[in-house]
């Protein structure tokens, strides 16, 4: 069993044991901490040992359903490494920040479960295995929103669930279709990514298969026009689930486009790329403007997240090594910033019992440390220099200019849209008038600082020493782009 | 034990035990518990006897000099017989508290239960249409009465009459169809008919085609496919819960087994004629079944309606059998495994928590079950996820096989249709989960009866999960691959 398998199954197995054992909540929290720290420790070890020049590594392969050629096939490369690291780092920090507030078994058990599920989905190289984890990681979120959510959470969790499963089922049919075609061409069944990419499909078939996959990914990310579940779900979800959804699951959708669609249907993806670039750019603006008009903080950040994810999609679809590296980098830096920002929104709600902009105000004068961190993370989302987001956005813009000067221009200008609502939000929440709700606002406690400081340092490190991180991603991206005949800027 | 001996021992034991309880029931030594445990022990013993014949590929005619090769015992029948016995055992084992608390499970109930199993056992072994009809009627008659067991309940009496009248009417189509086939092929033996079909010009076989369609009507009636399944909601609702579980989980599978044998053995040459009918049946069944399932407010009726949808999925696979290399027939068997264990489990949980009360279990009655009874709630969740085809359960693998075989045979639209139906099913299955976990507890402190029954529920739930992820990498217990091999063997043994 390799370190990757341990990272997948240790959280899942622990979650199952905790579910059956029904032990004291404090013990559950301690076990949660231990397990997530073990995973983090393993992930950091993995990062250190990761050899940037070998593309796919730590590959593990065991036949699973022999007759259909389905295998337990996992491995990690430069692009998936980012999400693995984020998954491993964010989960324990969430617990540190929230451990006092959440006294329900289900909360922690579900978080452990979802960590394993996401890890599995990121690392799978077999389509059925991927589908399994992709679906399974939905369940904990479904339960978290239903059990611990706010507002009309039963309705909303059902809507979210059905929306996502619809996409997944379309993807399932697409997977089966491509596998059957593979069987007709090569004589045996296989669901392995590297086998299936040899399948030849005609134009109509590949377009349909592409749409099957794309519906699933587009809903999960979400890109326009599949976003209608988004703002309600984020609003109703408890903070732990929101962090998982925005920092990890949405990124996974974008990553899956790259990993599966670009590998399996490279030509088709190339052909439809202009449409998705336009949808992405439109989404970037549309979600940005929608975010501006929100007065509910979680909804605003949900839309802001969607706006950045559209940018990540654009970065992938411009088919350029800068775009690919930039998007992979943005996946990581946005995950860190948005996780931290949502954590702080959760803290704010705990203190003021409100998510509404007009109820909050003047926090800077009451709680200066909180204000510093909040402003810092909000600005890092916008992508001000010295933060990781800046590096990523510059790379994507460079790639976009290379793709087409018009696209580059639009990308460069619309990135600034995030500034509008972020500055408005900061001025209202941090510097507005002190209100009834915020006048006794308690400043950051020690354990909250312990959770936020590493994230802040990570954001800074990613902004100041990007090379240290990019060198792990770049060789993968280069070899990939060479293979696909893309612009490598050599 | 030789296979011939097993083939004789299982029905003989069932019959012997049934007659014994019938007589013992009038003795003053009889108590309900004794009748119950005799039945359970019979099922337990026959299950193990039958299971020993599953692994190898075999096909023998039983005592041809006496039975005129009417009965055939092959891996196919061995597999299904084992499944029925397991199903009967689980149904009764889970329903212990239900049976204790109600007064209508007299000794006749156990006798009828065993008789119906006897009928199904013979049905899967029948190699001849008349034998099949008689055994089907033995099973059906027993089930009719089991449905109407609760004489005090108007609903049960209504269900009994409805089922009896419609069922007898539907059975007459079978007789007519058999007559037409006999008129042309001059035999009711499946081997002879198969030979006749192969050696005669296909265009000159109108009577056989027509007869086959009439038999199909009866089969569609028994599996509750639309448009012949109008009885299903009322009958499943009226019957007491263990009986509903038994009908949905076991009886339906017996009919499917028979249909599969006749179709693969004889009618495969007419595939082009039957396919449009089956496809139409599958589409209508899935649509109507889904609509019915969505609008129900009682979980029992919802599960009843959803069992109609599952018949639709299996019909998809029937339509896909055509392609010579296709895996569709073994996909059907695998799906039946999956449906069997999930349906028995889901209905079993309902019968376990209703403890004999006559009232329907509505969605609201399950409110807060997740907090009060975590193990039952988790098991029911697993069964429902499996019925909905959620990955990591056996139901997903079943759907995966069926959709793959549909695409392989060129019916991609059926697979997409199936996926959309599965999507709708998410709604009504997850509704139960929402009620169990997210709503505030509605009921007072309830004692749920026997721990042993609970253990069987939990074991079934574990089987469902193991059937969805099971692999020899983790534990050396037969998993997905073993079940797959078993269904392959069963299909192969039909050709021997």
Q: Could you tell me the residue ranges of all domains in chain A?
A: 268-490
CB contact under 8 A, B419 and A147: no
Q: What is the 3-state secondary structure (H, E, C) of B166-206?
A: HHHHHHHHHHHHHHHHHHHHCCCEHHHHHHHHHHCCHHHCH
**Per the structure block, which two tokens stand in for B265?**
């053995």
Bridge partners of B128, per DSSP, are: B189
Residue of A nearest to B427 (CA): A162
Residue of A nearest to B437 (CA): A147
Q: What is the DSSP string of A57-83?
A: EEEEEEEEEGGGTEEEEEEE-HHHHHH
In this prediction, residue A471 carries a pLDDT of 85
Please report the residues numbered 458 through 477 in chain A whose beta carbons come closer than 8 angstroms to any beta carbon of chain B.
Answer: none
Bridge partners of A76, per DSSP, are: A57
CB contact under 8 A, A131 and B391: yes
Of B391, B422, B430, the CB nearest to A136: B391
Chain B residues in contact with A158 (beta carbon < 8 A): 427, 430-431, 434
CA distance B401 to chain A (A): 9
Instruction: Report how far residue A231's alpha carbon sits from residue A244's, in angstroms, rounded to the nearest whole number.
Output: 15
Residues 6+ apart with CB under 8 A from B282: B312, B313, B315, B316, B318, B319, B414
Q: What is the DSSP string of B103-146?
A: S---HHHHHHHHHHHHHHHHHHHB-BHHHHHHHHHHHHHHHHHH
Return the residue in B419, B433, B485 with the most chain A beta carbons within 10 A, the one to mutate for interface testing.
Answer: B419
Chain B residues in contact with A173 (beta carbon < 8 A): 403, 407, 412, 415-416, 419
Please report the residues numbered 477 through 496 in chain B whose beta carbons come closer than 8 angstroms to any beta carbon of chain A.
Answer: 480-481, 484
CA distance A67 to chain B (A): 7
Contact, B316 vs B402, CB < 8 A?
A: yes
CA distance A472 to chain B (A): 32
Q: Given the structure tokens 């003795």, which residue do they identify?
A: B27
- Interface membership of A165 toward B (CB under 8 Å): yes
pLDDT band, residue A219 (cuts 50/70/90): very high
Element containing residue B74 per DSSP (H, E): strand B72-74
CA distance A225 to chain B (A): 20
Contact, B41 vs B96, CB < 8 A?
A: no
DSSP SS3 for B456: helix
Instruction: Report how far residue B18's alpha carbon sits from residue B114's, in angstroms, rounded to the nearest whole number.
Output: 6
Instruction: State the count of interchain CB pairs (< 8 A) between A and B.
Output: 83
In this prediction, residue B443 carries a pLDDT of 63
**Per the structure block, which two tokens stand in for A484?**
């696909």
- Interface membership of B48 toward A (CB under 8 Å): no
b/e per residue, B417-446, with b = 16+ CB within 10 A? bbbbbbbbbbbbbbbbbbbbbbbeeeeeee
- Interface membership of A19 toward B (CB under 8 Å): yes
Bridge partners of B362, per DSSP, are: B298
Q: Which of A204-213, A433-442, B225-234 has the lowest mean pLDDT?
A: A433-442
CB contact under 8 A, B430 and A158: yes
**Per the structure block, which two tokens stand in for A335?**
């995950």
Q: Return the closest-CA partner of residue A357 out of A277, A458, A429.
A: A429
Q: Where are the domains of chain B?
A: 3-494
Please report the residues numbered 404 through 433 in chain B whose beta carbons come closer than 8 angstroms to any beta carbon of chain A.
Answer: 404, 407-408, 412, 415-416, 419-420, 422-423, 426-427, 430-431
Residues 6+ apart with CB under 8 A from A309: A221, A222, A223, A250, A251, A253, A254, A334
Chain B residues in contact with A160 (beta carbon < 8 A): none
CA distance B408 to chain A (A): 6
Q: How far is CA A108 from CA A241, A269, A341, B136, B471, in A?
A: 11, 39, 20, 53, 28
- ipTM given for this complex: 0.92
Arithmetic mean of pLDDT, A158-171? 92
CB contact under 8 A, A173 and B419: yes
A324 has a pLDDT exceeding 90: no
Instruction: Report how far residue B305's alpha carbon sits from residue A381's, in angstroms, rounded to the nearest whole number.
Output: 50
Contact, A132 vs A175, CB < 8 A?
A: no
Element containing residue A45 per DSSP (H, E): helix A25-49
Residues 6+ apart with CB under 8 A from B53: B1, B3, B6, B7, B73, B75, B78
Arithmetic mean of pLDDT, A43-58? 84
Of B391, B408, B430, the CB nearest to A161: B430
Contact, B226 vs B282, CB < 8 A?
A: no
CA distance B26 to chain A (A): 46
Kindly report the backbone phi and psi dihedral angles of residue B468, in degrees, each rounded to the nearest multiple of 5, phi listed first: -100, -25
In this prediction, residue A58 carries a pLDDT of 85
Task: Give B31: exposed, middle or buried? Use CB within 10 Å, 0-12, 13-18, 19+.
Answer: exposed
DSSP SS3 for A188: coil
CA neighbours within 13 Å on the CB side: how many for B322? 19
A67 has a pLDDT exceeding 80: yes
Instruction: Report how far residue A418's alpha carbon sits from residue A426's, in angstroms, rounded to the nearest whole number.
Output: 12
**Per the structure block, which two tokens stand in for B389?**
């085809």
In this prediction, residue B447 carries a pLDDT of 64
Residue of A nearest to B432 (CA): A158
Bridge partners of A126, per DSSP, are: A192
Report cis status (omega within 30 of 0) of the bond before B121.
no
Instruction: Report how far residue B447's alpha carbon sits from residue B468's, in angstroms, rounded to the nearest whole number.
Output: 32
% of chain A with per-residue pLDDT over 70: 98
CA distance B423 to chain A (A): 6
**Per the structure block, which two tokens stand in for B64?**
């041809």
For chain B, 496 residues long, give each residue's pLDDT as a single digit of tens.
577 888 888 899 999 999 999 999 888 888 888 999 999 999 999 999 888 877 777 777 877 777 778 888 888 888 999 999 999 999 999 888 888 888 888 888 999 999 999 999 999 999 889 999 999 999 999 999 999 888 888 888 999 999 999 999 999 999 999 999 999 988 888 888 888 888 888 788 889 999 999 999 999 999 888 888 888 888 988 888 889 999 988 999 999 999 998 888 888 888 888 888 899 999 999 999 999 999 988 888 899 999 999 999 999 998 888 754 568 888 999 999 999 999 999 998 888 887 666 666 788 888 888 888 888 889 999 999 999 999 889 999 999 999 999 998 888 899 999 999 999 999 999 999 998 888 887 665 566 667 888 889 999 999 999 888 877 667 777 788 888 888 888 888 887 6
Residue of A nearest to B434 (CA): A154
Residue of B nearest to A64 (CA): B471
Bridge partners of A124, per DSSP, are: A74
User: How many other C-beta atoms are found inside a 10 Å radius of the C-beta of residue B265?
Assistant: 17
């Amino acid at each position: 069993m390799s370190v990757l398998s341990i990272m997948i199954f240790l959280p899942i197995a622990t979650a199952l044991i905790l579910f059956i054992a029904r032990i004291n909540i404090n013990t559950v929290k301690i076990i949660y901490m231990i397990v997530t720290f073990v995973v983090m420790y393993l992930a950091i070890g993995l990062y250190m040992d990761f050899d940037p020049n070998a593309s796919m590594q730590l590959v593990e392969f065991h036949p699973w359903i022999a007759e259909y050629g389905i295998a337990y096939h996992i491995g990690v490369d430069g692009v998936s490494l980012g999400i693995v690291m984020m998954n491993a780092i964010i989960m324990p920090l969430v617990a540190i920040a929230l451990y006092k507030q959440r006294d329900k078994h289900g909360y922690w058990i579900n978080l452990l479960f979802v960590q394993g599920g996401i890890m599995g989905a990121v690392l799978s190289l077999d389509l059925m295995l991927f589908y399994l984890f992709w679906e399974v990681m939905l369940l904990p979120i479904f339960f978290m929103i239903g059990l611990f959510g706010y507002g009309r959470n039963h309705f909303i969790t059902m809507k979210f669930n059905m929306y996502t499963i619809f996409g997944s089922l379309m993807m399932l049919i697409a997977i089966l279709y491509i596998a059957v075609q593979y069987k007709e061409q090569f004589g045996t069944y296989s669901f392995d990514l590297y086998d299936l990419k040899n399948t030849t499909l005609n134009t109509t078939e590949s377009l349909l298969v592409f749409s099957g996959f794309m519906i699933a990914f587009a809903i999960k990310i979400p890109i326009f026009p599949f976003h209608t579940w988004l703002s309600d779900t984020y609003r109703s979800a408890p903070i732990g689930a929101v962090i998982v959804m925005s920092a990890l699951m949405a990124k996974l959708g974008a990553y899956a486009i790259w990993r599966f669609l670009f590998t399996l249907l490279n030509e088709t993806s190339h052909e439809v790329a202009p449409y998705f670039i336009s949808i992405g750019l439109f989404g970037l603006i549309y979600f940005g403007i929608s975010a501006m008009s929100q007065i509910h903080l979680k909804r605003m950040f949900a839309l802001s997240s969607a706006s950045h994810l559209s940018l990540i999609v654009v970065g992938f679809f411009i088919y350029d090594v800068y775009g690919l590296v930039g998007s992979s980098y943005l996946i990581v830096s946005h995950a860190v910033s948005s996780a931290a920002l949502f954590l702080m929104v959760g803290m704010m709600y705990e203190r003021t019992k409100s998510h509404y902009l007009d109820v909050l105000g003047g926090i800077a004068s009451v709680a200066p440390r909180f204000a510093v961190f909040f402003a810092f993370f909000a600005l890092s989302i916008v992508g001000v220099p010295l933060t990781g987001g800046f590096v990523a956005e510059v790379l994507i813009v460079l790639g976009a200019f290379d793709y087409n000067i018009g696209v580059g221009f639009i990308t460069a200008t619309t990135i600034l849209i995030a500034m509008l609502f972020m500055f408005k939000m900061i001025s209202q929440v941090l510097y507005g008038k002190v209100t009834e709700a915020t006048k006794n606002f308690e400043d950051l406690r020690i354990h909250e600082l312990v959770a936020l400081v590493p994230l802040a340092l990570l954001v800074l490190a990613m902004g100041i020493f990007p090379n240290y991180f990019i060198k792990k991603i770049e060789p993968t991206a280069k070899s990939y782009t060479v293979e696909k005949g893309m612009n490598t800027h050599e | 034990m030789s296979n011939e001996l097993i083939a004789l021992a299982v029905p003989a034991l069932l019959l012997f035990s049934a007659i014994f309880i019938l007589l013992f029931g009038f003795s003053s030594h009889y108590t309900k518990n004794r009748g119950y445990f005799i039945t359970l022990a019979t099922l337990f013993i026959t299950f193990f006897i039958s299971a020993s014949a599953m692994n190898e590929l075999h096909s023998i005619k039983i005592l041809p000099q006496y039975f005129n090769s009417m009965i055939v015992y092959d891996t196919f029948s061995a597999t299904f017989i084992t499944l029925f016995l397991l199903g009967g055992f689980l149904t009764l084992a889970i329903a212990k508290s239900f049976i204790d608390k109600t007064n209508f499970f007299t000794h006749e109930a156990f006798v009828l239960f065993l008789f119906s199993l006897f009928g199904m056992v013979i049905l899967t072994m029948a190699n001849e249409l008349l034998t099949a009809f008689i055994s089907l009627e033995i099973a059906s008659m027993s089930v009719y009465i089991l449905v109407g067991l609760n004489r005090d309940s108007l609903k049960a009496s209504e269900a009994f009459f409805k089922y009896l009248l419609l069922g007898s009417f539907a059975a007459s189509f079978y007789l007519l169809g058999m007559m037409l086939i006999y008129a042309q092929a001059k035999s009711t033996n499946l081997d002879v008919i198969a030979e006749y079909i192969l050696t005669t010009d296909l265009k000159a076989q109108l009577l056989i085609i027509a007869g086959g369609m009439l038999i199909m009507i009866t089969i569609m009636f028994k599996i509750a496919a639309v448009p012949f399944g109008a009885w299903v909601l009322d009958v499943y609702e009226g019957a007491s819960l263990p009986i509903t579980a038994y009908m949905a989980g076991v009886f339906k599978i017996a009919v499917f087994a028979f249909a599969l044998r006749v179709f693969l053995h004889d009618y495969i040459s007419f595939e082009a004629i039957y396919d449009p009918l089956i496809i139409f049946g599958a589409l209508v069944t899935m649509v109507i079944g889904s609509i019915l399932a969505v609008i129900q407010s009682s979980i029992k009726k919802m599960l009843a309606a959803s069992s109609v949808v599952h018949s639709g999925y299996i019909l998809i696979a029937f339509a896909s059998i055509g392609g010579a290399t296709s895996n569709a027939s073994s996909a059907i068997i695998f799906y039946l495994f999956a449906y069997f264990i999930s349906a028995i489990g889901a209905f079993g949980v309902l019968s376990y928590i209703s403890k004999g009360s006559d009232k329907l279990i509505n969605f609201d009655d399950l409110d807060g079950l997740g907090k009060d009874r975590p193990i039952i709630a988790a098991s029911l969740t697993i069964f429902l996820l499996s019925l909905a085809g959620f990955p990591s359960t056996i139901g997903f693998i079943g759907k995966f096989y069926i959709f793959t075989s549909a695409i392989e045979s060129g019916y991609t639209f059926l697979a997409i249709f199936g996926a959309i139906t599965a999507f709708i099913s998410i709604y009504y299955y997850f509704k139960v989960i929402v009620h169990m976990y997210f709503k505030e507890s509605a009921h007072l402190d309830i004692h749920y009866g026997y721990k042993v029954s609970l253990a069987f529920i939990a074991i079934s739930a574990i089987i469902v999960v193991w059937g969805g992820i099971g692999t020899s990498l983790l534990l050396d217990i037969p998993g997905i691959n073993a079940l797959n091999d078993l269904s392959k063997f069963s299909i192969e043994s039909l050709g021997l």
